[in-house]
Amino acid sequence: MAATRSTIKSLLRDGQPGSDVHVAGWVRTRRDSKQGFSFIELNDGSCMANLQIVVDAATPGYEDAIRRVTTGASLRIVGTLRESPGSKQRVELHASTFDVLGEADPAKYPLQKKGHSFEFLREIAHLRPRTNTFGAIARVRNCVSYSIHRFFQQRGFLYIHTPIITTSDCEGAGEMFQVTTLPLDRLAEGTPTKTVDYGHDFFGKRASLTVSGQLEGEIYATAVGPVYTFGPTFRAENSNTPRHLAEFWMVEPEMPFFDLDDNMALAEEFIKTIIQDALSECAEDMAFFNERIDKTVLATLTHILEHEFKRVSYTEAVDILLSAGRDWEYPVAWGHNLQAEHERFLTEQHFQQPIIVHDYPRTLKPFYMKCNDDGQTVRAMDVLVPRVGEIIGGSQREERLDVLLTRMGECNLDPAEYWWYGDLRRYGTVPHAGFGLGLERMLLLLTGMQNIRDVIPFPRTPRNADF
């Protein structure tokens, strides 16, 4: 076989006219000309653009093979790269041999026509990566993941693998998926109290899928310095919104000797770096999103890069909302959660840029956040961005044991179950802080996609775990 296989991306960028090349991929379209040539648009997923393949009808085996070259079929082609006379591409490939590796029956292949709805494509999540949009999302998601690692690695953070199965509820919202080997329904039936004895379960106590790696992150941060975890997290929130998944990816840095201001500065630098990397490393895909998905995406991202995130306290944010002179679906009052409509008003209309809301009422936030001296608020921060709302949640952590124990009491948590978390304060406690960025929320911001189900390969949502 002539030449080792090249990706279409490398050929379109660097391929030299006159060189012999070998490519393989999937047919997007085929057109036969009356002059005795067929033109095949081939895509291998390495980039958005297709490679144009020119097949001369005089090529051996042409008649038999070309019939099988239909949309979705897989091909291996060996040939010579030529300068393309067309203006659409720099080079095209003149085939000397081509093999159809796998056919795709035109009467059945679901991706014949362009312009399928995203709802329909969710039903064929095994084929949607072959579309332009989902190929682009896969490449940008990959780029962002790499960018996240690079950001922390360059700053000396250690990547820590925190457990997926856990017996602690970090966020305290009771939204955990249970992990068990017990036949729960049968067990409870046979007991006088009709309650399950987890002492007999696999871990000897009730266990769940993690909602956050933060608590374990704190263990390492108070031993080896700044760390980050990056992995799947699980929440059984029954909220069927375009911004919630039951399984999503979160990156959570945790920094010893950091206060809330340090935390906010790092979060801002982090988001801006991810945006910059996506724009420079996935320029073609980002241009596609701007053209086909949301015409404001590139302008929004550039605007974000050029402005400092505005920092507003929760109390100031509530005042702004109260004096906005608008009717809200959810009423605004100090002590209530900010709803999506409030977050969007603040970022899209009032400030028109990302904001960091800090110092929330302690009743709204988990037990681990550092209490302010006012007795009312905690050192929390949420980063809100236009169109998406909350993209990061974080805080300075409570490092004083006595205050932490009081907060656990307020949140109905048993300090005995968090004995190890208490030990971090008992022995060599230090001020520390961290945050969590939802990877899929970041991708919504970058791509302009509307629904979070479309920026993760295989979404898990209430009543849906197919593929």
- Spell out the residues 6+ positions from residue 314 whose beta carbon is closer than 8 angstroms to its own: 338, 357, 358, 359, 360, 361, 377, 380
Binding mask 213-252 for ligand 4AD (x = CB under 6 A): -x--------------------x-x------xx--x-x-x
**Size of the chain, expressed as the number of residues it contains:** 467
What SS3 class is residue 96?
Answer: strand
Closest residue to Mg ion, judged by C-beta, is 393
CB of 435 to Mg ion, least distance (A): 10
Is residue 235 within 8 A of residue 211, CB to CB? The reply is yes
CB of 340 to ligand 4AD, least distance (A): 12
Span 293-332, contacts to ligand 4AD by CB under 6 A: none
| Residue 42 C-alpha from the chain's centroid | 28
Task: Give DSSP secondary structure letters for 36-79.
Answer: SEEEEEEE-SSSSSPEEEEEETTSTTHHHHHTT--TT-EEEEEE
- Beta carbon nearer to ligand 4AD, 370 or 425: 370
Show the DSSP H helices in 127-231 as ranges.
132-154, 184-189, 214-224
- Beta carbon nearer to Mg ion, 241 or 296: 241
- Beta carbon nearer to Mg ion, 243 or 272: 243
Q: How many CB atoms lie within 10 A of CB 256?
A: 21
CB of 171 to Mg ion, least distance (A): 8
Instruction: Tell me phi and psi for residue 52, to 5 degrees.
Output: -85, 125
Binding mask 373-412 for ligand 4AD (x = CB under 6 A): -----------------xxxxxx-----------------
Could you tell me the CA-to-CA distances from 299 to 289, 303, 305 in Å, in that order? Answer: 12, 6, 10
Indicate the angle between helix axes 439-447 and 297-306, nearest 10 degrees. 110
- Beta carbon nearer to Mg ion, 135 or 213: 213
- Beta carbon nearer to Mg ion, 48 or 381: 381
Token pair listed for 429: 């406690």
Token pair listed for 215: 């608590």
Place of tokens 């040939």: 79
Count Cα atoms within 13 angstroms, Cβ side, for 324: 22
Q: Which of 100, 144, 148, 170 binds ligand 4AD (CB under 6 A)?
A: 170
Q: How far, in Å, CA of 413 to CA of 173, rounded?
A: 11
Q: Does 259 bind ligand 4AD (CB under 6 A)?
A: no
When CB distances are held under 5 to 8 angstroms depending on the partner's kind, the choice from ligand 4AD, Mg ion, none that residue 235 binds is ligand 4AD
CB of 377 to ligand 4AD, least distance (A): 16
Q: Does 441 bind ligand 4AD (CB under 6 A)?
A: yes
- Beta carbon nearer to Mg ion, 393 or 434: 393
- Beta carbon nearer to ligand 4AD, 245 or 338: 245
Q: Does 171 bind ligand 4AD (CB under 6 A)?
A: yes
Q: Does 432 bind ligand 4AD (CB under 6 A)?
A: no
What SS3 class is residue 28?
Answer: strand
- How many residues line the site for ligand 4AD (CB under 6 A)? 23
| Residue 132 C-alpha from the chain's centroid | 18
Is residue 253 within 8 A of residue 214, CB to CB? The reply is no
- Beta carbon nearer to Mg ion, 386 or 393: 393
Instruction: Tell me phi and psi for residue 372, to 5 degrees.
Output: -80, 160
CB of 160 to ligand 4AD, least distance (A): 12
> In this chain, which stretch among 152-160, 268-276, 338-346, 431-439 interacts with ligand 4AD, using CB under 6 A?
431-439
When CB distances are held under 5 to 8 angstroms depending on the partner's kind, the choice from ligand 4AD, Mg ion, none that residue 434 binds is ligand 4AD
- Beta carbon nearer to ligand 4AD, 15 or 459: 459
Span 383-402, contacts to Mg ion by CB under 5 A: 393
DSSP class of residue 131 equals S
- Beta carbon nearer to Mg ion, 393 or 431: 393
Q: Does 212 bind ligand 4AD (CB under 6 A)?
A: yes
Task: Tell me the sheet residues that pair with 170.
Answer: none
Question: First-to-last CA distance in the chain?
Answer: 36
Is residue 1 within 8 A of residue 17, CB to CB? The reply is no
- Beta carbon nearer to ligand 4AD, 171 or 277: 171
CB of 174 to ligand 4AD, least distance (A): 13
When CB distances are held under 5 to 8 angstroms depending on the partner's kind, the choice from ligand 4AD, Mg ion, none that residue 170 binds is ligand 4AD
Using CB under 5 A, list all residues that contact Mg ion. Answer: 393
What is the contact surface with ligand 4AD in residues (CB under 6 A)?
170-171, 212, 214, 235, 237, 244-245, 248, 250, 252, 390-395, 434-436, 438, 440-441
